[in-house]
């Protein structure tokens, strides 16, 4: 999808509305496996038009002095809006959609050379960060954080 298509899909949603995001991107591979064609296809849920800094646990932790106010990641050059939807532009020129996740686990499908495979079949080729379990949302809230990712727009297949 393009930035304009993503913005058009999200601009119609009320703030905080749950939406489904389908993403397919090249898997992060170990050094000896970088010539392989492995794709991680994910279906996840996000909250439309919601800022990380405005989410309750983050806002409260900042107000109590338990954490600093959120800042853009170091690899992000600037933030901009398209049709009132926020995007990031990275120093690498890539465009990202910042997404506050619902905390539900993403449904992941692995593809090798275009064919669906199990994680066990390809696990030895992947970086551990591709399949390691994440901190659950209760642990994040205790630290004044919420589930959040930046998705490269070029990997977004659909926004519903």
pLDDT tens digit sequence for 6-17: 999 999 999 999
> What pLDDT is attached to residue 132?
85
> What pLDDT is attached to residue 134?
67
Q: List pLDDT tens digits, range 106-149.
A: 999 999 999 999 999 999 999 999 998 766 666 888 899 999 99
Which band of pLDDT confidence, cut at 50, 70 and 90, is reported for residue 150? very high
Domain ranges of the chain: 3-159
Per the CB < 8 A criterion, the answer to whether 18 and 88 are in contact is no
List the beta strands (DSSP E) in the chain.
18-26, 38-47, 76-82, 85-90, 95-101, 107-112, 115-117, 148-152, 156-159
> What pLDDT is attached to residue 137?
65
pTM of the model: 0.90
Per the CB < 8 A criterion, the answer to whether 38 and 111 are in contact is yes
């Amino acid at each position: 999808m393009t930035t304009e298509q993503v913005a058009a899909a999200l601009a119609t949603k009320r703030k905080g509305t749950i939406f489904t995001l389908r993403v397919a991107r090249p898997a992060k591979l170990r050094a000896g496996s970088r010539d392989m064609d492995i794709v991680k296809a994910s279906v996840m849920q996000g909250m439309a038009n919601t800022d990380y800094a405005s989410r309750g646990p983050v806002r409260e932790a900042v107000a109590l002095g338990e954490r600093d106010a959120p800042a853009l990641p170091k690899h992000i050059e600037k933030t901009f809006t398209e049709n009132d939807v926020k995007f990031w532009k990275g120093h690498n020129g890539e465009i990202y959609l910042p997404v506050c996740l619902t905390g539900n686990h993403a449904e992941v499908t692995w593809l090798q050379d275009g064919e669906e495979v199990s994680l066990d079949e390809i696990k030895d080729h992947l970086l551990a960060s591709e399949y390691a379990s994440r901190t659950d949302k209760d642990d994040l809230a205790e630290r004044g954080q919420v589930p959040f990712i930046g998705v490269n727009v070029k990997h977004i297949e659909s926004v519903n």
